Structure formats: C-alpha cells, structure tokens
Structure 1
Amino acid sequence: MDSTIQWIEYSTGNTVIHNVQLQSPQKYVEINQQAQDGEAYLAMTSRPGLTWQVARDLTCRGLFHDTGALNNSRSTAFRKIGLDVAVFAIAVDLGHIQSISTPVTWAVGYVRNPSIGYTTPNGATQDLMPYYTTRYPGVNISVAIDDFTSAFPDIQQKAIALDNAILRDASKISVQYADLVSLAARQTIGSLDTTVSTGSDGKPNASDVRIFMKDISSPTSTGRVNPVEKIYAALPLLLYLNASLVGPLLSPLLDAQDGSAGQPYAAQDIGLAYPKATGVRGAHNQGVEQTGNMLIMLYAHARFSGDGTLIHKHYDLAKRWSNYLVNNSLNPSNQLSADTEIRNSANMTNLALKGIIGVKAMAAMSRALGQHDDAQVYDSHATTLAASWESLALSSDRKHLLGTYGDEQSWALMYNLYADRLLDTGVVNQTVLESQTAFYKTLLSSSPKFGLSIANNAGGISNAAWLLFTAATVLDDDVRDGLINGVWTRASFNQTTGPFPDAYDSATGAIQGGANANAGSSFGAMFSLLALNVPNATIVAPPILNESTNSGDGGRKASVAIIAGAVVAGVTSMVLVGLGVWFVRRKRHRHILSLAERERTETPSPGHLSPYFFVRTPHPERRPPSTTSSSSSDVSVSESLEAIGSDNSLLPPSTESVVVPQNRRAGKGAARDEPSRPSRRSGLANPTPGPPPTPVAPRRNGTIPPSAIVGLRAEMEQLRRVMQDMQRETESPPQYTG
C-alpha cells in the first residue's frame, strides 16, 4: 500500500493493453507472497465500440455510469497503491444485440521477467527467463498477448476438451473423485515457473529448460524453492498430464548435488526464499524421506516419459543416495518425516518403506542403463530390506502394519505404498496389501467426519494428498471410495474460511496453519488413481560415447585406457597360458573348462525380468477409456494435450540413442513361455534379478563403467582358479615320512 505504482496504456492495433508495475521494483523480492518485480497486464481485443481510461475510480465509474463509455485518456499522476485508487478501465458498447458473431475477449496476466535467480553449481548466478520468451523474440509481450486474445476461441475449445477428457477418466472411478480432480490441477500448475537460460547473445535457450515450484502451502513461509516432498506429492498429476514435465523440475535439484561431497543424502530444496534458487542448504534430518522421494521420482520420470537422460547423467549421484538408503532405511532412528504432525515418532514404518522402494528403483535404473552388476546388488539389498521390514512392521496378529515398530497400538496411513504400486517395484506382497486394506476398512467404520488422520499419533490431523495416495493402494473399491469420501467432504465444507488446505483437523475441518494457509501444490496427489494407468514408455538413454569421440579430459581417458589395457592384457595372458595347459590336458580336464564356460555364459530363464520390463496391465475398472468414438467430447487426455500444443519441446534433444526395451513381451522374438505380469491393482510378487552382466561399452564422458572393469577382473579370477585346479591335479601328492 505504501509503494508507488506507474502505468502505461498502448495499442498493438489488434489489442488494447494496460500495463501496471511498481515505480521502483525490487528484483527477486516478495512481500507477503507478492512479487515486487512483476508487471500486471489487462488487455482486450480491439473492436468497434471499445473505449478505455486510466483515472481515479470515482472518475471512471461515474463517466461510464452516465454515458456508457470511457474517454480514451490516462492520468499520469502516479501514486501509491492505496491513495486515490487508480482504475484501469476498458468498456465495449455492443449496441442493441441478440447475438454477436465474435466474442468479446479480454485477458489478465502477471509476468515476472526474469523469473528466477538461479545459482549454478559453480556459484554463478543466472537470470532465468519465462519459457514463453523462446516463442517471442525480443521478449515481445505485446505479440504474445495479441496471439492469446485473437486465438482465444480455439484455446478455449482445447481447454474444454482437456477438462472433459480428465473428468471422463476420473468419473469412471467415482463422481466424488471427479470433483476432487477438478480442484487439483490449477493449484499445482499455478505453483510452477517454466524457465530457460539465455545464451551469450542474450537470446533465450530453448534447449535449456528448468521448472521451479514454489511452496505456497505455508502462510508464514517466504516460499521454499523446489520442495522435494511437495514435488513428490504432485507427481501423479505431472505424470498423467505429461511425464516430460518431471525432468526439468528435478534437474535443478540434481545439478545442485552432483558434485557435492560430504552429504550422502538428498537435499530438501534449493532455496528458502522464492524466486531465489540459491542451492542446497546443507545437513538436515530428513535424509531417508527426501532421498527416497528423489530416487522414486527419478525412475518414474524415465519409466513414463522414456527419457533416460537424467538417470544417465546423474547415475553416480543416484548410487550415492542409494547406498545411503541401504544403510539407513530399515531403522530410520533420529530421522524426520516431512509430515510435521508425526515427527516425534522413531522407526516409522512408512518412512522405512519409502527408503526401500528407493533402493528398488535404483536397481531398475541400473538395469535400464545396462549396469547389471549394480542392478543385482541393489535388487539383493531391496529384497533383504523388504523381508526385514515386513517382520518388524507387521502387528503380532499379522493383521496390519504398525505405525512404529514394536508398538502394537500404533497405526498410520501407509501412503508410501503408492510408489510401490505406481512403479511396480513389488516390495510389498499381496498378502500385506490385503491385510492393510481390511484394516483401513475397520478404521473407516468409525472415522471422523473428514476421514482418517495421518496416524494414531498425529493429533487427529488429516492430509488430503496422503489420503488420496492411500486410496490408490487398497484392493477394495469400497475402502477406496471411503478414503475419497473423507477428502471430498472436507472440500465441500463451507464452514471454515480460507481455501481447501493440504492439512486439516479430521473432526472439525479446521485448517492447519491458520485461516491464511494457502492451497498447496501437493494437490497433484488427487491424480493418484489416474496415474496408475499411465502407460510405460521405452527408456531411451543418450548414446554411450567411445573415447575416440571425446576430445576433452585427455588425462582421465588416458588413465582409463591404461587401466582397461592392463586388465585386457592380463586377461589375454591368462587366456594364452590357460589354452596351453588345456591343450596338454584337454581330455582329462575338458569337463572343467566346459563347466566354467557354461557358468560364465549361461542365460537365465525368461522369468528373470527387471521392473522396467513389466507389462502394464491396467485394472479393468481403471482401464483408460476407448478413443474410438467420433464424438468431439470423447477424446483422450493425450489427444487433448497434443491439441493444446504439448510436444517434446521439454525433452532434451537427442541424436543417436541406445534404446532399452521397456517391455520384452512386446518385442519381436520375446520368449513365448514368459509369464504375464500382474496388474498394479493386483498383488505383485518380488521380481527376480535380471540377467547376468554382459560386456558394456564405455559410458558417460568416455569412461569405462565400473561394472565392466569388475566383469573383466571376475573373468581373470575365474581363469586363475581353473588353472590352479588343473595344476593341483597334475602335481604329485606330498609324501610324509615318519
């Protein structure tokens, strides 16, 4: 109210535009969640009978009241916002009409350019521009406004088609679920800024896309930048609309941590004061929570978009995080959950589960990149952890999962089961899912008005996002609908002030954080059930570079070449010696070499499939609707998005690529006796490890993958042992004398 504003009015010939901004803007500053460096626009398509005016409110309104028109003038007496309130008025005289051939189109917008102050991993600060600048050279906002207002009828029809497609899918689950989905998308998408960097020529770089999310759920927060647990909650919506959106959202988090040392777990965010993305904030006690979130989302992005760029680029970082989870997931003592209501609970069953799923996701990512040694290691760890977790987490009567190990009175919403269902990781077996579903049914029979709370020790606080995650994990539609009903009842409750919140009292509906709490981005979780039917994509990784194709980092490549050469030379020498001995003793020892060779090359049975080969078979009642109808309203979400203009512009450019099949059963020559994979809406057995390691070409920056070197060393050791056995058989037995 104390800030002086200034304004200007102008016309492009097609559109009349009012532009308003602070006279002294403060770059990257927000006060009470309001940017101090943005510009507001009010525009209307030019047409006969259009008039405008900028003046005091009483002046503009009085003139329009008396004459039905404005005088096309503007005051230049800039002043404080609350002093002699200025009105930016536009009016249209349509005359005596019964209908009009063209609509009266007007638009309101708010632009912050640059959008984000981004600190790069090397400490440099970049001003990131809005993504729309890639389509409008010279940052010509007027042209963008012209395009929007002139194309509005077409844009509106496409938006309606998208809404109808989403509601059609959601209505197949329930009417209440469709209502919740209707509320969610705008809250999540509204929290995002899609940006690009600028080149040395000052032009926007369309190939360098980053997306930033503001934590808008807390009334006292200045807005955390890319809060990991909020992105995790919003993941179903992003996957359902366009999985390629997830990559640019994770990239700033991944880039900021790639070269960091001393912190083995993932960060919570990359800044505390939006829009300043200043980088990670150091040590915290949500290591299992945020690390599990990041690995799950990293694999989900690759699995559903088919883009293997991130898992390839950040593979070493993902391994570091996975090793942390291997050592810390099962007993997450002194760890905090992102749910503030249950932070004091140690050994949280739900938190441990998230970490184990993260390890299993790492196994899948390793296999997708051909790192089969790593995949087998992480598969083994995940299987061991899952077995131990089940023994600790189940109640003594094995009827439900405990909220806290050993506390028979404890329970909690096991919303982290959702990641297991979404990714088909098979960490939790069907028997546990059935028991937990039955337990929820018992709880719902006496639940408060607005549904179940997060846990028995959560003070009666419900969380809409986690209730919808939980609804997507149960095996009984009545239980599913009961969980949905609690959230729907709170959404339709009009006896509290403020927006529909993330967290609220399950009995009274009171908003957690006070009446000024904002609706959060985590409402993307409302799409949890719809995301279960998003089809898998074939994961495409960037080309694996050979040393001859790289000109930089010669010292490192030279050392790699020396190591690889030494290993290969050692193998060659051992092979030559072994062949010499073999020719001498071939009859006697042929069976030894035969067994050794068979052990080295034997191929596993077709049942040895990794998670990214699973066949996605949607539950019959959740199957995506047919798109064969000719009705204009009966179009798929993907078709609607394509119509709106969704394309692959957010996907990193690729040239020659290594394609890793996502589904062996669909490939030509697949084994005919391969068993079908259960749906995610049915029980999932733990998958068996994938095939043994095969020779792998150098990857990332021309380096030899550790698994390839390990494989060569293993072959050397195998040959050495065979030779020792052969030598022992040729030696005379020792003689002992008394």
Structure 2
Amino acid sequence: MLPGLLLLYTLLWTHTATARPASQTVFAADASFSPLDDSHHSPSFSPLLPPAIPLAVKSPYLNALLPTGGDGGSKGYLAGSWARHWPVHYPGSPRDYRLSWAGLIRIDGTTYEFLGAPLSDSKSSLGPARVARQTAFEYTATKSVFSFEAGNVTFKATFLSPVTPNDLVRQSLPFSYLSIDVDPDAAQNHFISVYTDISGEWASGDPNANLTWTYTSGSGIGVHAVSRREQLVFSEFAEQAEWGEAVLATELRRETVAGSGEVNDLRGTFIKHGRLDGTHDAAYRKMDDRQPVFGFSVQITPSRPSAVFTIGHVRQPYVNFVTPEGQVPLAGLWTTRFSRPLDAISYFQYSYPRTSREAARFDEQVRRDAQRVSGDNYAALVELSTRQAFATFELTTGVTEDWREDKEGVMAHLKEISSNGDMSTIDVIFPLHPILLYTNPTLLALLLEPILVYTHSGLYPNRWPVHDLGTYPNATGYNDGNDEPMPVEEAGNMLWCVRLMALVYFQLTADKPWVEKHYEVFKSWTTFLTDDGLVPAEQLSTDDFAGTLSNQTNLAVKAIVGIGAMSELAKGVGRWTDGIHYRAVAEAYVREWTALAMTETGGARHAKLAYQDDGSWGTLYNLFGDRLLNLKLFDRQLYADQSSWYAGKAQKYGVPLDSRHVWTKTDWEVFAAASATDKKGRELFINLLVDYLKAGKVDAAFPDLYETTTANFPGRDGLDWPIYFISRPVVGGHFALLALEKANGANGVEENPFGG
C-alpha cells in the first residue's frame, strides 16, 4: 500500500500566493469585511468544519476539494481560495494541484466573488476584490452547501455529487453539479447574473501539456470540452488522467452565453457587462500560455432564479484489464446506455431536479440511520465519508469467458488513492466494504469480480489471493507472483467479504451457483489459512506502514474469522463435511490463540500485539468480523476486556493503533467501536474521531492516519515519519456500525447482543 518513495517526501500542503492570506481584507455589500474575523459574523458550519470540503468528488479523476484546515487552509470560506485535486502538495512536486474553478455573481452592476479567487488572486488585474459574505456552510452525504449575502441579495452555491448505489449506470456517470440558487424575491427586484469557468488544470496534471478544446451545443445544452492535444491513454501525471476530456456544461436557456479565452479577458468581460460576448479563443496552446478558461454567464430571472452547471471528466476507455490473451480495454458502464458523451452530459444536466430530490432522500436516510445507531457525531462522520468512498472506484463493462470485453457484464475497479495508486487492492476493498454493505452489497460483489476473474485465469501462481492487480488504471496483474506479500491478510479479507456476499446479497437472490463457481478457490485459500494463519510468520498486515512483524495477534484473528467464514459458506451450499471440519478448526484455533495472545497488565486483561511480546498491546479491530458474521467464535469476555483496555489507552484525539506508535487509523477505530460491548465504549471512539476533525490540524480530504496526541499527520509534529493517507477508500469503514445493523438483520440477531 505504501511505496518506499512516499516515506521520503516531506509532504506539505502549501497554500500558494493565489490563495487569500488570513490578513487580507475583502469587501461584501460595499462594506469592509474580513471573513476570518469572528467579530464580523463568522459563518456557521454544520455539522462541523471538515479538513477539506468536497466540491466535485465523483471519481479518482474528478476529485476537487477545498482544503480548510492547517495553517494555509481556507478555514471553510469558498471564496478566496482555489479548489485542489486530492493530493497533498509536497516540495518538488510538479504542480500545486490547483483546479481553477471561478464563480462570480453580478448584482445591479457590482460583481462579487463567491467561488475560487478570480478577484482576490494576487495575479488578478481585474480591480478591487469584492467578495460575497458567506453566512453558513452545511454538508450532507451528497452535498456541500454554502450560503451567501451580497448587495442585499441572499443566494446559495450547492455542490452535489450524486450517490445512486442502486442505479449502477447513473452511478457510473463521471459528473457533478454546481447549482446557484438566488432568493426568488431578490430576483424580482435586482438585475442579477452569474458566471463560472474552469481552466485547463482540470484536463491534465502536466503544466507543460499542450491543450485543445471545443465548444459544442446540442440537445439544449452547451458543452466546453478541454483535453491534452496528445492523448496519453492509461497514463497519469501528478495523479490526474492524461487522456479524456474535462467538461463544463449548462442548459442553453435565454441569456445564457458561452465563451472561452484568456483568463482576465473572459472574466473582465463579465465584470464589465454582466454577460459574456460569445467569443471563443483559438483552440490550442499550453496550459500556462495566457491561461485559457472556459465559462458561461447566465442571467437570473424571477421565473428562473437558479443556474445549474455540470462539471466532469470523460475518458474512453476507462481501464486496461489483464487476461491470458493480453490486455483488454474496458469502457465506462455509462457507455452501455449513452452512445456519445454529449448524450450522457445532456441526460445528467436535465436530470438535476430528479437527482436533487433523490439526493435529499438519500441524505436524510443516512443521517437518520446514523443518528439512530450512535448519535449526531456518528452522523457527521459517515456523511463526510460518503462521497469520498464512492469516488474511489469506477464501474465498467466486464470480461467474457473468452477474454473479450463484455458489454453486458459489469466490473468495479478501485484506486488506492494517495498511498500508492494500486488497483483493486484487497486490503483496501476490505475496509471500504461497510459502506457498500449498507448501501448496496452488489457493489462489493462487483469489486471482488476483477480479483476472482484474474484468479480463475490461472495467471497468478501463489496459494493466497493477489494483493492488487497493478497500478490504476492498468490491471496488469502479477503473473510472476511478485506482488506485495500479505498472504494471511488477503486470504482472510477475501473469505470475510465472500461470506458477507453469501449472507446479505446472494442469500437474497438465492444465487448459490456463485459460491459453487468459486468454491474450490475459496477452499484453497482456507487451506492456506489453516496451515499458516494461527501463528503468522513475519509478514506485513494491511497496516504495512508499520513494517513486518511475526506472530501478530490481530492478523491471526483475521485468519480464524476467515476459516469460520468458510465453514458457513460450505454449509450454505450443502458441503456439510467441509463446514463441520472448518468450524472445528476455527474453534480449536480460538483456544490456542487465547493462550498465546492474552496477557494481564496492571490487573487489566488484554490482547498483546504479538505473541512473543508481553509488554505490547494493539487494537483488535479484526474482532469485528466475528461480530459482523455472527460466528460466535470468540468469548464475550474478550470483547469486554478489549473495550476496557481501549478506554485506558485513549489519547486526546483517539486510541492509538498499537503500543509502537501514537498514530491510529480512523477505519479501524470504527471497527473497534462496532465491537464494543456497550454504548460508552462505542462512543469513546466516535467522539474522539470528531474531536480529531474539529481540531482543524489537517488540510486534506478525511485523512485516515493521524497522531492521536496532536490530531496531525504522522511526521508533521516530529513524531514517527511523514505518511499522508488522504481521500482514500477506507473511509467506507466508518459505516461499520450501520453495516453491523444490516448484517444483524440478515442473521436474525438482535440489535446489540451485548446489551447497552
């Protein structure tokens, strides 16, 4: 998961001169106003101010966020700072990951900035910066909503990245919305127009790339499309796709005008006239040569007090998949319904009313369910995690039995964002799975499909599952067996997830043939765990940033859970002899594990980190599998002992992962919370996680690895070494409490068998 090179980076978010310094004075409604001065009506942030605010977050390559925390963050103000692609900016990186996305509103002849820094940018020559006064910010599972006042007019900017887990084609659409909604009464009494543009930074991570662009109108919409002139298919630069097109689109209603050109010319035209003049610049030059931007101006009227824009990144094909016959390019799933990108964009643009209503219902359900399970703090965690988790994987067409593209089939491919870009990493799919179990378990089956297809190809030679399939978007496999070695980890993960499929998904569809199809593969992995799982040799676990270790107690728990899961799978398809055998093995291993793993320190009984180290301890997050799958392998007293131990080890912002360091992982904290024996133990983890977010020390999308004493990235405060895990799929693990509730329902288990 973590390449050695990453350990050498001294990673820092650098808020460049293009962002507004904290001391800069800006203006709103013709009055002096500093947005960072609490005495001037600072905005409210609900449910909290996250370390980075999701704007357009829909895929690994459409991942625009507004950093808020740390010394250089925006502090939650949409105006005055540029959006960024997800990576942390580190010294020597090829670019600062800025995504220029500007928003202006003109009210009765005066123009105000509300998105990005088109006026307050130190490089701007467009006159004094007037900035709309932000009055509030709120996020839900799918939306980030900013409220403003300017020129006696109130309006909202809503960023909606749809999550439609039960409509796979719509989920596969690589687009997001920006909606500007003006108070209808104000639209009657004021002359108002809005403007937005994007730059070529959305089309390539290479600042030296030659760009080309087009403007197309059809089906009632206008579409700007910008791309590299030389397409580098299946290639990245600075974590962005170097093939495909960035798009900005809107409905072509009366008084909507499109334009492209040099940045100050285009924005200056809107500032002066309140509308663009319809001119388009020559469609070829470098990104930084008279920076070209691509925008729309829209007049707001009493009958149409809103303007809705579509932003996205369209690629053809999506991924490069390994087969015995060679690499097969797979297309995005949306192409099975829409033959042209224009058709998909038009559908998406005109679907906004429906999508907005559905998003509101989805948001309400997530919030209500999370509050019921563990209160407002838990709701704040899972809502912030939703878009991030869903934007880390993409849905494509599948592969036929003769190794060709299957237009009727479906696969899902995950990118291990930030840690090293691996593709379909099993031990990253694993912590993602709770959000999928909660929303639609089909998605977990689709993420496992590429792993199983590759396994059945016979190309991978090892006894255990492959760690990953390559580096995104190239699933090249490891035909020499030389992938990152996590044999016990990945075998346990696969059997855990497969049992969930049989329990929650295939049980509902009575699809026993799916288990039968893969049964011999599952059985071979279980045999490996039986041989090597109870006493794991020195090896990596999923927490590979901590290095190798022998006799890991938590890793042995995963092996035992995997063997127990296989017992249930075998019984489910009538293989009773196998089922009885594997259950007996798992129960015997629990007894041996207890003797090897448990110790007592200061009168408190707890699990060691490793069998041989009596002075060690660790977070036993893999115990969650015993609860989730209702295996009842481990004694209830173990859960109680661990809950008490964690409470005594808690730091200011969390419970450390183990006795070696003060860092922790957010996903494993919630796994441990879901294994707690009472409400107090559960809320310990949840509340400390919220304290971590509220501390405001980090400045990137929900980092899942942090120091429990400082609430900062490892290495930022001189502790440990620099590791920056951001925007990763693993935040799906924050749904562990909701996943447990769903699994309990499938198992016929009461909501909390431990009581409390």
Alpha-carbon deviations, 1:265-288, whole Å to 9, x = none? 1111111x2100011361453111
Correspondence for 2:353: 153
Q: CA deviation at 1:60?
A: 0.9
Moved over 6 A (4+): none
The alignment partner of 1:24 has SS state of coil
Q: CA deviation at 1:158?
A: 0.4
Residue 501 of structure 2 corresponds to residue 368 of structure 1 = no
Correspondence for 1:518: 726
**TM-score with structure 2 setting the length:** 0.68
Residue 400 of structure 2 corresponds to residue 194 of structure 1 = no
Alignment of 1:165-564 (within 5 A): 165-172=365-372, 173-197=374-398, 205-218=406-419, 221=420, 223-258=421-456, 259-260=458-459, 262-271=461-470, 273-280=471-478, 282-283=481-482, 284-306=484-506, 307-396=511-600, 399-443=605-649, 447-457=650-660, 459-512=661-714, 514=722, 517-535=725-743
The alignment partner of 1:156 has SS state of helix
Q: CA deviation at 1:102?
A: 6.6
1 CA distance for matches of 2:344 and 2:263? Answer: 29
Correspondence for 1:592: none
Correspondence for 1:41: 247
Residue 378 of structure 2 corresponds to residue 162 of structure 1 = no
Look up the equivalent residue of 2:748 and give its one-letter code.
Answer: V
Look up the equivalent residue of 1:209 and give its one-letter code.
Answer: V
1 CA distance for matches of 2:462 and 2:641? Answer: 38
Q: CA deviation at 1:435?
A: 1.8
Residue 205 of structure 2 corresponds to residue 2 of structure 1 = no
2 CA distance for matches of 1:515 and 1:414? Answer: 22
Cα distance 1:682–1:404, how it changes in 2: closer, same or farther (>3 A)?
farther
Q: Which has the higher helix share?
A: 1
Larger of the two Rg values belongs to structure: 1
1 CA distance for matches of 2:571 and 2:586? Answer: 14
The alignment partner of 1:314 has SS state of helix
Cα distance 1:405–1:369, how it changes in 2: closer, same or farther (>3 A)?
same
* Alpha carbons 2:416, 2:423 under 8 Å: kept: yes
Residue 319 of structure 2 corresponds to residue 113 of structure 1 = no
2 CA distance for matches of 1:514 and 1:428? Answer: 36
Cα distance 1:74–1:207, how it changes in 2: closer, same or farther (>3 A)?
same
* Alpha carbons 1:119, 1:279 under 8 Å: kept: yes
5+ residue gaps, structure 2, are 1-206, 715-720
Alpha-carbon deviations, 1:593-620, whole Å to 9, x = none? xxxxxxxxxxxxxxxxxxxxx423323x
* Alpha carbons 1:497, 1:515 under 8 Å: kept: no
2 CA distance for matches of 1:435 and 1:13? Answer: 64
Correspondence for 1:25: 231
Cα distance 1:517–1:255, how it changes in 2: closer, same or farther (>3 A)?
same
Q: CA deviation at 1:154?
A: 1.2
Correspondence for 1:586: none
Look up the equivalent residue of 1:187 and give its one-letter code.
Answer: Q
The alignment partner of 1:395 has SS state of strand
Cα distance 1:203–1:374, how it changes in 2: closer, same or farther (>3 A)?
closer
* Alpha carbons 2:617, 2:658 under 8 Å: kept: yes
* Alpha carbons 2:653, 2:692 under 8 Å: kept: yes
* Alpha carbons 1:118, 1:126 under 8 Å: kept: yes
5+ residue gaps, structure 1, are 539-613, 620-678, 684-738
Alpha-carbon deviations, 1:129-179, whole Å to 9, x = none? 11111111x3x1111111111120111110111011001111121211111
Correspondence for 2:23: none
Identify the range of structure 1 (174-183 vs 527-536) with the bigger mean alpha-carbon deviation: 527-536
Look up the equivalent residue of 1:266 and give its one-letter code.
Answer: P
Alpha-carbon deviations, 1:607-658, whole Å to 9, x = none? xxxxxxx423323xxxxxxxxxxxxxxxxxxxxxxxxxxxxxxxxxxxxxxx
* Alpha carbons 1:133, 1:204 under 8 Å: kept: no
2 CA distance for matches of 1:153 and 1:309? Answer: 41
* Alpha carbons 1:256, 1:280 under 8 Å: kept: no
Look up the equivalent residue of 1:280 and give its one-letter code.
Answer: Y
Q: CA deviation at 1:73?
A: 2.4
Q: 2:293 aligns with which of 64, 87, 101?
A: 87
Cα distance 1:537–1:504, how it changes in 2: closer, same or farther (>3 A)?
closer
* Alpha carbons 2:629, 2:743 under 8 Å: kept: no
Q: CA deviation at 1:9?
A: 0.5
Alpha-carbon deviations, 1:442-492, whole Å to 9, x = none? 22xxx32211110001x2111111111100001121111111122111122
Cα distance 1:475–1:22, how it changes in 2: closer, same or farther (>3 A)?
same
The alignment partner of 1:52 has SS state of strand
Correspondence for 1:615: 748
The alignment partner of 2:440 has SS state of helix
Correspondence for 1:11: 217
Q: CA deviation at 1:376?
A: 1.3
Q: CA deviation at 1:400?
A: 1.6
Q: CA deviation at 1:100?
A: 3.2
Q: CA deviation at 1:418?
A: 0.8
Cα distance 1:521–1:145, how it changes in 2: closer, same or farther (>3 A)?
same
Correspondence for 1:664: none
* Alpha carbons 2:328, 2:404 under 8 Å: kept: no
* Alpha carbons 1:400, 1:439 under 8 Å: kept: yes
Identify the range of structure 1 (338-347 vs 21-30) with the bigger mean alpha-carbon deviation: 338-347
* Alpha carbons 1:130, 1:194 under 8 Å: kept: yes
State the identity %: 28
The alignment partner of 1:400 has SS state of strand
* Alpha carbons 2:744, 2:750 under 8 Å: kept: no
Q: CA deviation at 1:199?
A: 8.1
1 CA distance for matches of 2:459 and 2:331? Answer: 26
Q: CA deviation at 1:407?
A: 2.7
Cα distance 1:483–1:430, how it changes in 2: closer, same or farther (>3 A)?
same
The alignment partner of 2:526 has SS state of helix
* Alpha carbons 1:126, 1:197 under 8 Å: kept: no
The alignment partner of 1:73 has SS state of coil
2 CA distance for matches of 1:401 and 1:67? Answer: 70
Cα distance 1:516–1:103, how it changes in 2: closer, same or farther (>3 A)?
same
Q: CA deviation at 1:535?
A: 4.8
Alpha-carbon deviations, 1:700-730, whole Å to 9, x = none? xxxxxxxxxxxxxxxxxxxxxxxxxxxxxxx
Residue 306 of structure 2 corresponds to residue 103 of structure 1 = yes
Cα distance 1:453–1:309, how it changes in 2: closer, same or farther (>3 A)?
farther
1 CA distance for matches of 2:535 and 2:672? Answer: 23
The size of the alignment, in residue pairs, is 534
The alignment partner of 1:105 has SS state of strand
Correspondence for 2:118: none
The alignment partner of 2:260 has SS state of strand
Correspondence for 2:192: none
